[in-house]
Chain A
Amino acid sequence: MELLKKLEILADAAKYDASCASSGTDKRNSLGQDNGIGSTEGIGICHAYAPDGRCISLLKILLTNACIYDCLYCVNRRSSNVQRAHFTVDEVVTLTMGFYRRNCIEGLFLSSGIIRTPDYTMEQVISVARSLREEHGFRGYIHLKTIPDADPELLAEAGKYADRLSINVELPSRAGLTELAPEKDFAGIRRSMGQMRLRIDAGREKSHTGRKAPRFSPAGQSTQVIVGADASSDRDILDMSTNLYGSYGLKRVYYSAFSPIPDASAVLPPRPAPLVREHRLYQADWLLRFYGFAADELSTDAAGNMPLAIDPKLAWALEHRERFPLDVNKASREELLRVPGMGVKSVDRLIRARRFRGLRLDDLARLRLPLAKVMPWVVTVDHRARGLDSLSLGKPAAKQGELLL
């Protein structure tokens, strides 16, 4: 098969993985080096955007889309009729180096269908990373998908070359996984995440004995969960995320709205999950991680789902009107973070700015706060929010409507 055709098949097969992050690894560059190429400087770069609005930072491909598993939600499951292809190790290396030299990518995100055994597959994936690092002096970013319950020695080797490792939990509930992917082992996935956390933590610690622990995935680990393929509610999903962040120190949980795939199985929902649901989950995830919210504070309906029409912070604020309006010149950081329209950065700048003068509405505008969104909730020197009920807060903004496409 032509390399171009393989690339077409194996990129197409990789597009359901949402992660494209290339940030947060250790810093390195190619200055003063004899050979090799590449640098990482902390902040990842999105080199292109596809018409689905997703960034393209890494060359995201599968080594092969052949798979011995039969996970129903997956386009590459063994009972699917999609065309199969395999890259050789050298082909992946050539494409990665070629695209990198042309400044198309930050690096490689390599995953694979399971062929023969988990250990065999893991070895193949590691071979690519080893060749890039050791034979070609590649100093760009490498994200490897790890295979649950592969040999711990293989995990250690993957972590030596990779900047980030990930294992997808795939479905929010054990029942969902048993139903749709019976060959995947929920407990095994979590055990592997536990192993990775121990190694990532050890790699970061400065050893008091002077002997450094081996390099292990400096940009940490992440995971992905498919939304809307099983019956899990938003609350179930966010409880799962809370557990995963706390237990395994994940950098990110990626939410992927179930999307129709070619040659789909009849067991799956016939319609795609609304993208706006995925969007709300990301917003809620941010509230959990950066805004001091707990999953059980977010407002949900009886079934445990968040409203789609308004964002989760606005929904929370509407249920806690008694806490508003807040005086931006006096409120604490924790309180300000709960004002609809205020982000972490703007709150921190606001707190710095109010040390010098009482803030007025035009100050908020200079802080680039969305005034229309913020005004109903705050008091400034020259403004006092009137009753919330007079405002049509429940109306979704045009931008959110667009997500419903």
Chain B
Amino acid sequence: MRSVVLAHEVDWGGWRDAARTLALSNVPPDEVVWSVRAPSDLFAEQAEDMPMPKPSGVFTVSRALVSLAETVIQAREPERFALLYRLIWRAHAGDKHLLEQVTDPEVNRANRFAQAVRRDTHKMRAFVRFREVVEQGVTRYVAWFEPSHFIVEANAAFFVRRFATMTWSILTPYRSAHWNGVETSFGPGASPADVPDDDKLAEYWRTYFSSIFNPARLKISAMTSEMPRKYWRNLPEAAAIPDLIRTAQARVDAMVNTPVISAPKPTNRFAQTVTELPSSGLARAAVEVAECRRCHLWEPATQTVFGEGPPDAQIMMIGEQPGDKEDLAGRPFVGPAGQLLDRAMAEAGIDRTQVYMTNAVKHFKFEPRGKRRIHAKPDTAEIMACKFWLEIERAELAPKITLMLGATAARAVLGRAVTISRERSKPIPLNGSTGFVTVHPSYLLRLPDEEAKAREYVAFVADLRAAAALLDTV
């Protein structure tokens, strides 16, 4: 039998050295007895080192196992040192997937210890309450906390990161941690008597706690499962709990039974402030279209996306429908397809600010799919319902060139099914003006291979250029 006496309850360095030495010396777990030096000796003179055979050779264990061991060693469980050594022993013996075997009894036990430590750590971060102490002009913050496990040392860094600019002490029964603004130090345990009384803000905090409580939703077990009673004596707000519980029902009864004032139904005070509709047809349509109910597409959408551009534009560009980005922004052609179109227009020498840009359908049609919305093609009925607005735009603008991007736009303008590949790239006479059909930029985005993409992009730019050139001929 080997006996290992660790310096204190979370003597990680001592345990690791011993475990490494023992494993390299092939000492099986059954032959080791682990213990911790009596706490009274901790801050006494360092006792002489235990004689240990020096390790020869090295061995490594996974980072995950080291991390688990660092957590488990904080558990208030006398068997933890031996349990961890058994895991090290098995890993050393070649069990590569040890920690993945979560139903293995030893792995399971270690995980449960770790979980208890993590929970306790979290509760310490939650339930430590500092009291402010001013002594000789210096402000310090002092807290008393009773952890279930040996978590103070490992948890001090959290409080340092958060309260780095304060001077503070956290006192617990087994250890105290101090931060002076520069470094952390640890001392022996303390007693509640070492902690000052509640400071003046405690009353404010208790008031907040009482006021944020909704008596109509009393659910005591939900509170106690997350904030067990053992923590209450350290929490200034907990003093309010018994009264809040006792009076809750009476407060609800008072609310429910008080005769309600039969206030008139509210009216919209601001309804009268609706401004007069603009006189120009296009501007008026832009206001009215926001309330369009000609088909059901408005319901799931954010907003109507109407056309935009100068009212005297000579070119009108018509796409299919707004996409995800356009629906959010309320403007046409601002998403990925719009950005591609911008680039192509710039290459074709077309100034976007001089073009009126719109869509055949003014609402985004989509299928919800988890965190995304998937574009859905508008059907003929929807295109026809929305044609009302497109006709107003076309009539008010009377553009020289009407550029139709894709089959939906072509159908809306020409009133028939159009095969893009057959009818693209050439002028199509419209009533007193000229139409021109090409692909929709989203078609280019959907092409799977880069070569086709590049080829089609060139053709698209050529189409844009050809359409713009028609301005000189019509």
Contact = CB atoms under 8 A, between A and B. Distances in A.
A49 to B, nearest CB: 4
24 contacts: A8-B210, A16-B214, A31-B160, A33-B164, A37-B164, A39-B158, A39-B162, A49-B222, A53-B219, A54-B214, A55-B226, A101-B132, A101-B141, A102-B141, A182-B266, A246-B371, A259-B216, A266-B261, A266-B263, A267-B265, A353-B101, A366-B102, A405-B218, A405-B219
B359 interface: no
Interface of A: 3-4, 7-9, 11-12, 14-16, 29-39, 41, 45-56, 59-61, 68, 70-72, 77, 79, 81, 95, 98-99, 101-104, 179-183, 187, 190-191, 193-195, 197-198, 242-243, 245-249, 257, 259-267, 270-272, 275, 289, 349, 352-353, 355-357, 359, 363, 366-367, 402-403, 405
Contacts of A16: 214
Given A266-B262, A270-B256, A246 B368 contact: yes
B322 to A, nearest CB: 11
Given A266-B263, A356-B100, A182 B223 contact: no
A266 B266 CA distance: 12
Given A183-B266, A245-B370, A352-B100, 15 more contacts: A31-B164, A33-B164, A37-B165, A38-B162, A49-B223, A53-B226, A59-B208, A77-B266, A81-B261, A194-B328, A245-B371, A259-B217, A260-B252, A366-B105, A367-B102
Contact of B164 (A32, A48, A261): A32
Contacts of B271: 182
Interface of B: 97, 100-103, 105, 108, 122, 125-132, 141, 143, 158, 160-166, 199, 201, 203-205, 207-223, 226-227, 235, 237, 241, 244-245, 248, 252, 254-256, 258, 260-263, 265-271, 290, 300, 302-303, 325, 327-330, 366, 368-373
Given A38-B162, A51-B248, A56-B209, A259 B214 contact: yes
Contacts of A39: 158, 161-162
Contacts of B372: 246
Nearest to B108: A366
A359 B104 CA distance: 11
A52 B213 contact: yes
A48 B103 CA distance: 34
Contacts of A8: 207, 210-211
B164 A102 contact: no
B303 A194 contact: yes
B266 A79 contact: yes
A57 B216 CA distance: 20
Among B214, B222, B245, B255, max chain A CB count under 10 A is at B214
A353 B130 contact: no
Among A38, A103, A271, A289, max chain B CB count under 10 A is at A103
A403 B223 CA distance: 13
A70 B244 contact: no
Contacts of B265: 72, 179, 267
B251 to A, nearest CB: 9
B163 A261 contact: no
Closest 3 CB pairs of A and B: A53-B222, A53-B219, A194-B328
A286 B230 CA distance: 32
A51 B219 contact: yes
A356 B104 CA distance: 10
A56 to B, nearest CB: 6
A7 B211 CA distance: 8
B164 A198 contact: no
A4 B371 contact: no
Given A38-B162, A183-B269, A246 B328 contact: no
A197 B102 contact: no
A385 B299 CA distance: 45
Nearest to B201: A98
Given A30-B163, A264-B255, A4 B212 contact: no
A211 B133 CA distance: 46
Given A101-B163, A259-B216, A405-B219, A48 B201 contact: no
Contacts of B235: 48
B370 to A, nearest CB: 7
Contact of A102 (B129, B158, B263, B369): B129
Contact of B126 (A46, A102, A197, A242): A46
A242 B263 CA distance: 35
Among A31, A37, A246, A349, max chain B CB count under 10 A is at A246
Nearest to A43: B122
B298 to A, nearest CB: 9
B108 to A, nearest CB: 5
Contact of A7 (B97, B132, B199, B204): B204
A29 B164 contact: yes
Nearest to A52: B217
Contact of B237 (A48, A54, A197): A48
Nearest to B252: A260
